[in-house]
A = this chain, B = another copy of it.
Amino acid sequence: MCYYIIIMVKKCRVRTISRKDCQDNINPYYIVGFFEGEGTFHIAFGRRKDLTQNWSIMPELHISQHKDCISILNSVKSYFGCGYIKENHPKSKHDQTNVYVVKNRKDLIEKIIPFFTKFQFLSEKKKDDFKKFSQVVMWLDQGIHFQPKGLRKIVDLAYSMNRSGKYRKLKKHQILSR
């Protein structure tokens, strides 16, 4: 089975690179370089008995930084004009990181996906994760997750991301068996 069908991204405005961007503001290539190393495209699953397939599916972009570097997260948030910043683990004494999160689907489709389609990653790994992430977002937008077959396609693709889901707590069968 081949997942690499062409991803249809809704046409929208992406900020172009002006001299001002390059000198005074955060530059889009800076953002790509920064996300190449530090950013994550993740598909979260949460049990929801009230939903048709018993699971909510939440694509999200996130990037964590030590609190000393919150200025970077603020600049990125300001550039995209969406998402929010929160403490990563507010109850932890050791974890002093903040995280920038975008999970609103409209923002992902209209801002995040067009941006990283235009300003591309360099590594095959990140390109691959981003393609899969975009595909899942589009599938959700088409509503394929309301059918068991669609849910399986999404779970399969999501679990092949981020080094084959090795850090996930839930196993695939736990989601697919409802």
**A residues at B contact (CB < 8 Å):** 17, 22, 26-38, 65-66, 68-69, 71-72, 75, 122-126
- CA of A4 to CA of B67, assembled, Å: 24
A68-B37 in contact (CB<8A): no
Q: Which of B27, B34, B68 contacts A124 (CB 8 A)?
A: B68
- CA of A17 to CA of B124, assembled, Å: 24
Given the complex, which residues of B lie within 8 Å of A66, measured CB to CB? 125
Given the complex, which residues of B lie within 8 Å of A32, measured CB to CB? 30, 33
Given A17-B22, A22-B17, A29-B22: A125 touches B68 (CB 8 Å cut-off) = yes
Given A27-B29, A29-B30, A30-B30: A123 touches B36 (CB 8 Å cut-off) = no
- CA of A37 to CA of B58, assembled, Å: 26
CB distance from A118 to the nearest CB of B (A): 11
Closest to A64 in B: B37
- CA of A72 to CA of B71, assembled, Å: 25
13 A-B residue pairs with CB within 8 Å: A29-B29, A30-B122, A31-B33, A32-B33, A33-B35, A33-B36, A37-B38, A37-B65, A65-B123, A68-B124, A69-B123, A72-B122, A75-B122
Given the complex, which residues of B lie within 8 Å of A124, measured CB to CB? 68, 71
Closest to A28 in B: B29
Given the complex, which residues of B lie within 8 Å of A125, measured CB to CB? 66, 68-69
CB distance from A30 to the nearest CB of B (A): 4
Q: Which of B27, B34, B69, B71 contacts A34 (CB 8 A)?
A: B34
Known A65-B123, A68-B124, A75-B122; 16 more pairs at CB < 8 Å = A22-B29, A26-B122, A30-B32, A30-B36, A33-B35, A34-B34, A34-B37, A37-B37, A37-B38, A38-B38, A66-B125, A68-B123, A68-B125, A69-B125, A71-B122, A71-B123
